[in-house]
Structure 1
């Protein structure tokens, strides 16, 4: 097994290269998208024992790496194009939260005998983490005093389910979208006479990337990530990702920064690396070690979330892309919503997806506490 961090990074970078080449050359992989192909290849490498399920490279990509990617992509966002899809995204997010809470309660009632006295804690934690991302999981676990064994097992199950669900959401617009429709179309890297929208900027800057531009982008992105962290430490009542998004969007409206070429391309590359590492962390053998009951709990919760969100969403004739991004905002948080929007080229829904992801951080703990209290009462009655 390759364990050296630099060697692991080399293989992840190779996964991204292969994914992009397959997407460009073959219709099947083009419909799947480089992001989904990268996740699957990462899973293959880790489950075949070629790369580890845990690495400092993954930790970097899931923290600083994806943060820099978010900044670079947001530097290409024009706020004037973001007014659409807001209400529908919020409605989809609400549906997803209801589905998550329902699924966690159903899972708790079904598996209470297998999990034991801490079932209500797990119910609250999975409600919180699948409403607004993993940040809520740790906070609720600490508040509930969840045992270390259950906490560790649940985290492992969460990592696996989050990666699988990202892959599922990337595939949904292809599998359920109308044949030949815009929802099933993959982004194109080819340059044409059409305006360079964010979807196209993710694959091509449209003009040469100059060294001066690249240097400026690195300085801006690194400075933004550092500044967001500093502000979060001074004013901890707001999460770091909120500061990160705000600073990035403010910078993106500066004319001189708007003229810099290549921000979205570089950011998209980091997002693809992040997704490949997400797949690599999904070692299927971990399912045995975390305990079937906890894994089933996560599966039931996510399955109910998906049924409610996509079932009622399609019943109300909501857009598949919006539903998929809202689902990622629920399950993985703002970063996953960003990754989903970037990977599928949903430029007009990128900022609304990040916004509801941030909203999930705020409401996830409250909903988690409420559902945990409800489950505790149900189990004690």
Structure 2
């Protein structure tokens, strides 16, 4: 750790690298199509891995701890300011149903994968929690679960690498399905038909650039976004401490509720959702919150790439890749099966699965790329709800798995 070009206590330089590489990753994702396909998150992680394994930056430092302690908690409420449950149901009720069915598929896959591999991977309950949260919500849930179950940095990095390798293949399959004759015969696809009839106009832009277009934002927006996020994180921490202190741990049931209600991430998620639902005129109108929250998550992706020992990842990732593959397989089978049973459109099914596995950003990007314009807002809203419920199900599955080890 002390033989690196940049020492662990050189906090300003390390922060410059963390934020600078996060910014470069976003720029590459929006500038070049190859980077858009790889995703900025992968670029952020791999860049940090290279710097750490070349001994340019240390594998542990106070600056990294600051990201886990302050940056990650602030990202969660910022990404949930538009999670008005009533609006989500009103505008996206149909898509919400297939999304929830898809989430059940994720949980079934997590359970099956855990049963098959629990004796091969010692900390699999931690991975189960992280991947359940992530494959119902997105990267922000992965972060919350990693923190909640105190996953070691090496395990987090190995899980992220496995997850992203699999997601690259998964997204390729999702994009290819609408053009396959079997699925065209088996499912309705009105949005595909409309695009093929009228065409789309998406020239010269990557998916990321299309989604993260320039928006009007004021100083007041930035002030309200930051002030509200800090307040929510502070209050949530105090509420979680209170419940953690007063709820006994004398039996398994009370211990479960102690873990559940004493978890600051769940309190944070719930509180933000309630505020977004009952004071939507304030939180829903804060511009730039999602952009700021997403940038903070990119900084996190840089940090989790840092402690990645390449030999350790080669050793652990294959089994973790199998675990992730089992989860994705069951998610897709359940989503496609029940989607067919309940006569959902193929586009709704694919976007619901995408919103589970990749989160609202990747689902919206797919809708944009495919020209399914009528589904962009519904899947974005439903995917945002995944941020909320992903933490609950991640905690539930992780606690269940921990008791089964």
The normalised TM-score by structure 1 is 0.70
Q: How does 1:213-232 map to 2 (within 5 A)?
A: 213-232=221-240
Secondary structure of the corresponding residue to residue 352 of structure 1: helix
Aligned equivalents of 1:137 and 1:41: distance in 2? 21
Q: Which of 320, 331, 334 is matched with 1:298 structurally? A: 320
Secondary structure of the corresponding residue to residue 163 of structure 2: helix
**Contact 2:129 / 2:145 at 8 angstroms: preserved in 1?**
yes
Give yes or no for the alignment of 1:91 onto 2:101.
Answer: yes
For 1:57-86, what per-residue CA distance to the aligned partner results, in whole angstroms no more than 9, with x for missing partners?
333323421221221222244444422343
Which residue matches 1:38?
A: 44
Secondary structure of the corresponding residue to residue 261 of structure 1: coil
Aligned equivalents of 1:203 and 1:243: distance in 2? 32
Q: How does 1:118-267 map to 2 (within 5 A)?
A: 122=123, 126-128=127-129, 130-132=131-133, 156-166=154-164, 168-169=166-167, 172-174=170-172, 176-178=174-176, 187=207, 189=209, 200=211, 203-204=213-214, 206-207=215-216, 209-236=217-244, 237=258, 238=261, 239-252=263-276, 253-267=279-293
Shift in Å at residue 14 of structure 1? Answer: 1.9
Using a 3 Å threshold, how does the CA distance of structure 1 residues 86 and 355 change in structure 2: closer, same or farther? farther
How many positions carry a matched residue from both structures? 327
**Contact 1:309 / 1:323 at 8 angstroms: preserved in 2?**
yes
Aligned equivalents of 1:247 and 1:218: distance in 2? 16
**Contact 2:146 / 2:156 at 8 angstroms: preserved in 1?**
no
Using a 3 Å threshold, how does the CA distance of structure 1 residues 242 and 126 change in structure 2: closer, same or farther? closer
C-alpha root-mean-square deviation of aligned residues, in Å? 3.9
Q: Which of 318, 330, 340 is matched with 1:308 structurally? A: 330
Q: How does 1:61-76 map to 2 (within 5 A)?
A: 61-76=67-82
Secondary structure of the corresponding residue to residue 12 of structure 1: helix
Which residue matches 1:100?
A: 110
Which residue matches 2:23?
A: 17
Shift in Å at residue 203 of structure 1? Answer: 4.9
Give yes or no for the alignment of 1:26 onto 2:32.
Answer: yes
Q: Which of 377, 381, 390 is matched with 1:357 structurally? A: 390
**Contact 2:31 / 2:209 at 8 angstroms: preserved in 1?**
no
**Contact 1:36 / 1:171 at 8 angstroms: preserved in 2?**
no
Aligned equivalents of 2:238 and 2:301: distance in 1? 27
Which residue matches 1:284?
A: 310
Name structure 1 gaps, 5 residues minimum.
Answer: 112-118, 142-150, 191-199, 329-336, 373-381
Name structure 2 gaps, 5 residues minimum.
Answer: 134-141, 180-191, 196-201, 245-257, 340-347, 367-375
Please identify runs of 4+ aligned residues in structure 1 that moved more than 6 A. Answer: 134-141, 179-182, 338-345
The normalised TM-score by structure 2 is 0.66
